[in-house]
Amino acid sequence: MIPVILSGGSGTRLWPLSRGIYPKQFLPLVSDKTMVQETLLRLEGIEKLQAPIAICNEEHRFMMAEQLREINAQPEAIILEPVGKNTAPAVALAALAAKDPEDILLVLPADHVIEDVRAFQEAVIKAEQLAEEGYLVTFGIVPTAAETGYGYIKRSDNKITHAFKVAEFVEKPDAVVAQAYVDCGEYYWNSGMFAFKAGRYLEELEKFYPEMLAACQLSFAGAETDVDFIRLNVDAFIQCPADSIDYAVMEKTDKAVVIPLDANWSDVGSWSALWEVRDKDSLGNALTGDVIAIDTENSFIHAENKLVAAVGVQDMIIIETDDAVMIAAKDRVQDVKKIVSILKSGQRSEADLHRKVYRPWGHYDSVDNGERHKTKRIVVKPGGKLSVQKHHHRAEHWVVVKGTALVSKGDETMLLSENESTYIPIGVIHSLENPGVIPLEIIEVQSGSYLGEDDIIRFEDRYGRT
């Protein structure tokens, strides 16, 4: 069985922690592990698991690779989607990447919380047995409330071993209909998790959506391999129709079965959902960071950099990051995505970027910005190297505050230690590398007429960036 990690979500409802370039699946929201890492770690103990296949956005490739490396998970492949096309094409690509059409794909979104790991693993083992028999298995979450934010799966009366034949998939209902579903006892929340043989999925996709399969096959056949990454043929993949597994295959096939899963599951689709699964104090508050809460109840307060003090607050969400503060009533958290829409329409960087920006070589934090200057704190991990580059509009001054820097500047190469510095004039080709075994930290002061990140002309890059 091959775990297939779907990591295409943007998590706009969890802004300002979740951003376009750093979405929720790469954040440690519930434990000290990120949601991507938790997705794989909860499989530990299941026998005969093969190396995972991860599918993610091109912009997230280095975060995915690094987070898998941190938990010693060597992927079979990391497939990079140049554009999002929903889950049906993503899973088709994973099926094409499987070495054997008899391999079973265990399809798992990367941003779910499952508290009862034992119950989940038992359901996975049942799903594996049914997939071996040729069924396409989905996991239906036993509902605990009349939730209007999820789609539902209705089971039929036809029971097969540990599962039921699927009667129908239904869209997100209103509150009255959702309550009727829960009272009926024949409906489950649609988890978006699946298990089936790679070859069986491709057969059903060819039957019901041949043009989608053809586009996936063409893009995969024209793909290029770059270390762990599979880069699809962009032109072919852009022509691929966009659709979910439910619409493309599961609603149409006569081999769909649903396994009921009662494992304290959540897709953490909003701040209120995250509040539900977090540890809380005696007054129902989930508090993170430097927080003082007086006469405050049933609230989620997250402080990253500053003291956050709340007095007389009830049922509120307060999130502080290095560049934004978000305050919302707990019953209005679904509207947080409207903030992201406004930010995007205004072309504001807060929609996609944190002040701290991660790169394959490490990260940087823009600590001060002016009209003609910018100051960054740059951290380069051991062995990391920034691209060989130059700038047309800015000069840079580097001061080493920790570690050792190997600097190339024009025809000159030098080693800089703590408290040493160098100056990079406008137009001079340069690079920065950490040859040591501890992180390199430098302070970079930029000055010039234009300080945008797009003023980079790359000549060489070990990470394949253009």
**pLDDT tens-digit series, residues 106-151:** 999 999 999 999 999 999 999 999 999 999 999 999 999 888 888 9
Instruction: Mark whether 63 and 143 lie in a shared domain.
Output: yes
Instruction: Mark whether 134 and 14 lie in a shared domain.
Output: yes
Q: Which of 138, 116, 130, 129 is nearest to 259 (CA)?
A: 138
Instruction: Mark whether 229 and 193 lie in a shared domain.
Output: yes
Instruction: Mark whether 58 and 130 lie in a shared domain.
Output: yes
Taking all residues of the chain, what is their mean pLDDT, rounded to a whole number?
Answer: 93
Assigned domain for 35 exists:
yes
Total domain count, the chain? 3
Q: Which of 165, 172, 163, 88 is nearest to 129 (CA)?
A: 163
C-alpha distances out from residue 19 to 24, 55, 341, Å: 8, 18, 12
Separation CA 333–CA 340 (nearest Å):
12
pLDDT in tens, 341-361: 999 999 998 998 888 888 889
Instruction: Mark whether 194 and 256 lie in a shared domain.
Output: yes
Assigned domain for 466 exists:
no
Assigned domain for 250 exists:
yes
pLDDT in tens, 163-197: 999 999 998 888 999 999 999 999 999 999 999 99
Instruction: Mark whether 162 and 225 lie in a shared domain.
Output: yes
Domain end marker among 266, 298, 330: 266
Three-state helix/strand/coil letters over the chain:
CEEEEEECCCCHHHCCCCCCCCCHHHCCCCCCCCHHHHHHHCCCCCCCCCCCEEEEEHHHHHHHHHHHHHCCCCCCEEEEECCCCCHHHHHHHHHHHCCCCCCEEEEEECCCEECCHHHHHHHHHHHHHHHHCCCEEEEEECCCCCCCCCCEEEEEEEEECCEEEEEEEECCCCHHHHHHHHHHCCEEEEEEEEEEEHHHHHHHHHHHCHHHHHHHHHHHHCCEEECCEEECCHHHHHCCCCCCHHHHHHCCCCCEEEEEECCCEECCCCHHHHHHHCCCCCCCCEEECCEEEECCECCEEEECCCCEEEECCECEEEEECCCCEEEEEHHHHHHHHHHHHHHHHCCCHHHCCCCEEEECCEEEEEEEECCCEEEEEEEECCCCECCEEECCCEEEEEEEEECCEEEEECCEEEEECCCCEEEECCCCCEEEECCCCCCEEEEEEEEECCCCCCCCEEEECCCCCC
pLDDT in tens, 405-437: 999 999 999 999 999 999 999 999 999 999 999
Instruction: Mark whether 381 and 415 lie in a shared domain.
Output: yes
Indicate if the pLDDT at residue 384 is higher than 90: yes
User: Alpha carbon 160 to chain centroid distance?
Assistant: 34
Q: Residue 360, preceding bond cis, omega within 30 degrees? A: no
Instruction: Mark whether 177 and 124 lie in a shared domain.
Output: yes
pLDDT in tens, 188-214: 999 999 999 999 999 999 999 999 999
Which CATH number is 368's domain given? 2.60.120.10
Would you state the pLDDT for residue 466? 66
C-alpha distances out from residue 337 to 163, 249, 340, 369, Å: 36, 29, 5, 27
Instruction: Mark whether 121 and 85 lie in a shared domain.
Output: yes
Instruction: Mark whether 372 and 438 lie in a shared domain.
Output: yes
Instruction: Mark whether 287 and 189 lie in a shared domain.
Output: no
Average confidence (pLDDT) over 282-298: 97
Would you state the pLDDT for residue 201? 97
Separation CA 181–CA 187 (nearest Å):
6
Domain extent for 127: 2-266
Lowest mean pLDDT among 81-85, 94-98, 225-229: 225-229
Instruction: Mark whether 35 and 67 lie in a shared domain.
Output: yes
Q: How many CB atoms lie within 10 A of CB 159?
A: 11
pTM: 0.86
Domain end marker among 235, 266, 297: 266
Strand partners, 400: 442
